[in-house]
Amino acid sequence: MVDAPKQPYMGDAMLDTLIRMNTELMSELWILRDRVTILEHMLQEKGVVDRKAIDDFVPTGELAKELLRERDALVKKVVGGAWTEGFTVDSLLKK
Amino acid sequence: MTNASLPEKAVNAAGQPKMVSFAQRGRSGMEFLGSLQNFVATHVRQRARDEFNADPEGAVLVQNWSQRNEPWSERIAKAKAVAEKSNVYRYDRLMQRYVAEEVYVKGIPATEERRKEAEAFYKIPIKSAGGSLELDPTIPIPAYHSETEWHLMPGGWEGYDLYGITMGSGVGPLVFARGGFAAVEANDDLRKQRIDVAQQFQKKSYGRIYEPGCGGFGTLAAVHNVFPDAELVGSDLSPHLLRQGHMAAERMGIKVDFKQRDARDTREPNNSVDGVIMYALQHEMPVDVNIDTLKETLRILKPGGDLVMSDPPPFAAVHPLQAVVLDWDTEHRGEPFFTVTREVEWAEVMKELGFVNVEAYTLGAQGYPYVVRGSKPL
Ligand SMILES: C[S@@+](CC[C@H](N)C(=O)[O-])C[C@H]1O[C@@H](n2cnc3c(N)ncnc32)[C@H](O)[C@@H]1O
């Protein structure tokens, strides 16, 4: 068995854990980006979508609204997560 | 079985065996680790080094590092205390450890996913280059070898039947190829380094070259590149690595005799080889085993025969922060003998044992690859 390191590298076990989580997220993010790039490449090769068209596409109408809604929700969830100040059923349902 | 009956995926257009490749998740996950390690070993490490040099105690250590009049354990402890004041250095170490773990944490499942392809790959018949593989299950395997999980590899060299794929398709080309681990600098070309080391043999040609602790075929391939006419013999304790090496050499059409042997007892006749090469072997053996291996080398070399040895540099030959980095591998990356073998000046040991024309020098900017060479007296 390869044992876990005896001492935290950053002087605090929780800090090590956070950095490991963060690095793992970066890894997941890259794996996904690698996949999306391949996906676009293959779709273009098969003549389904033009990669340039994806770059040049400007979302409008309902799609633009959907992206705005999702983007704001992501920011609120991630950044707001650091400032949680208690909650009620109502406050949760409003989210 | 003929190649025609194999799954289509296992052979390329020319009917040659195609190396197994990881699926997208495994491949890109490993490539990420390669990028991370490369960045940490360049940008982050440089910052840690700047902080070390700027520290008053660090500056004193840098000034008279190799001449200090105290045992290495004390010198390293002082340098480590300076290094560890830096959060940048600590982060560098955490990331080194993370990558060292993850190459197996991610690499083994990614290999397992390709088991069918791997098994097909190993069944592809190879046209023999005339080489041989001699395994001897009666050879005593020293406990230090069988009980160490080298480089945090679960179960050690024999711990997983498909480590050849994990390393050959994943860790080697996708992570190690970017450099930046142990003594290897970021962006170092590992293949070229082996060739550079093989070129340290000084004669124009060699009849028979022997590599104890050859692992696979990496270093002997480099030797063949430099001395295409030399007869090659490689030995190691690990049957897994010897099998991999034999297969690789045969595939490349190069005749090599692989034997399972302890480097201290090669069973070769006295005065029977013209050259001996040891590459990355020293740091994986205790000091006394190294000394016995040098004695054995002297026995099998013909009078006038040459030894070329390359391993991470001794502490004395590097910046104190680099010495701390090398020392770190002992506790944190499954390298139990890294520190004890870096404390020794091997050129001196070789002279004491009777080698002549002994020289120690470095080929790279930061002290790696480090070479010690010498000859058996005529
Ligand atoms: C880091 S690997 C280097 C392999 C190879 N020389 C190369 O250049 O890739 C160290 C090797 O030393 C072998 N080894 C350790 N102790 C040994 C011994 N006493 N006799 C023979 N081989 C040994 C290990 O099995 C392993 O393959």
CA–centroid distance, residue A5 to ligand 1 (Å): 25
Taking residues A69-76, report their average pLDDT.
Answer: 88
| B128 CB neighbour count, 10 Å cutoff | 10
Residue B332, chain A, CB below 8 Å: the answer is yes
Which residues fall within 8 angstroms of residue A85, CB to CB, at 6 or more apart? none
Rounded to 5 degrees, φ, ψ at B55 are -75, 135
Share of chain B above pLDDT 70, in %: 96
Cβ pair B32:A27 closer than 8 A? yes
Contact between B168 and B19 (Cβ < 8 Å): yes
**Angstrom distance (rounded) from CA B85 to CA B235:** 44
CB of A17 less than 8 A from some CB of B: no
Instruction: Say how far apart CA B344 and CA B313 lie, in whole Å.
Output: 10
Contacts of B101 in chain A (CB under 8 A): 2
pLDDT score recorded for residue B151: 95
What local confidence, expressed as pLDDT, does residue B15 receive? 58
What's the average model confidence in pLDDT over B103-129? 94
What is the interface pTM, i.e. ipTM, of the complex?
0.83
B278 Cα nearest atom in ligand 1: 6
Contact A27 B29 (CB under 8 A): yes
**Contacts for B180 with CB less than 8 Å, ≥ 6 apart:** B37, B38, B40, B41, B42, B186, B187
pLDDT, one tens digit per residue, over A3-56 is: 999 889 999 999 999 999 999 999 999 999 999 999 999 999 999 999 999 989
Q: Which pLDDT score is estimated for B147?
A: 92
- Chain B residue numbers with beta carbons less than 8 Å from the beta carbon of A35 are 24-25, 28
Residue the block writes with tokens 């195609």: B18
Residue B6 has pLDDT above 70, yes or no: no
Q: Which two tokens stand for residue B353?
A: 């044992």
Confidence category of residue B9, pLDDT binned at 50, 70, 90: low
Using CB atoms within 10 Å of the CB of residue B127, give its burial: 0 to 12 exposed, 13 to 18 middle, 19+ buried: exposed
Asked if residue B1 has pLDDT above 50, the reply is no
Task: Indicate which residue's Cα is closest to atom 10 of ligand 1.
Answer: B281
Query: How many Cβ atoms are within 10 Å of B125's Cβ, its own excluded?
Result: 10
Element (H, E) at B277: strand B273-279
Contact with chain B for residue A57, Cβ under 8 A: no
Ligand 1 centroid, distance to B217 Cα (angstroms): 11
Residue-level pLDDT at B16:
61
**A31 vs B98: CB contact, 8 Å cut-off?**
no
The per-residue pLDDT of chain B, averaged, comes to 94
Residue whose structure tokens are 């018949």: B125
Distance, in Å, from the CA atom of B184 to the CA atom of B322, rounded to the nearest integer, reads: 11
pLDDT at A82 over 80: no
pLDDT at B2 over 70: no
CA of B284 to the centre of ligand 1 (A): 7
B375: left (phi over 0), alpha (psi -120 to 50) or beta: beta
Contacts of B369 (CB under 8 A, 6+ apart): B193, B196, B197, B310, B362, B363
Reading the block at residue B67, the tokens are 């001449």
Domain ranges of chain A: 10-56, 58-95
Give the pLDDT band (50/70/90) at residue B17. Answer: low
Whether B369 lines ligand 1, by a CB cut-off of 6 Å, is no
Q: Are B20 and B169 in contact (CB under 8 A)?
A: yes
pLDDT in tens, B39-50: 999 999 999 999
User: Does the pLDDT value for residue A95 go beyond 70?
Assistant: no
Task: Write out the CATH class of domain B11-375.
Answer: alpha beta
Q: Is the pLDDT of residue A66 over 80?
A: yes
C-alpha torsion angle, residues B311, B315, B318, B320 (rounded to 10): 140
Mapped onto helix, strand or coil, the DSSP state of residue B262 is strand
What atom of ligand 1 comes closest to residue B285's alpha carbon? 16
pTM of the model: 0.91
- Do B90 and A11 make contact, defined as CB atoms within 8 angstroms? yes
What was the pLDDT predicted at A77? 80
Query: Which of A1, A19, A30 lies at the smallest CB-CB distance from B32?
Result: A30
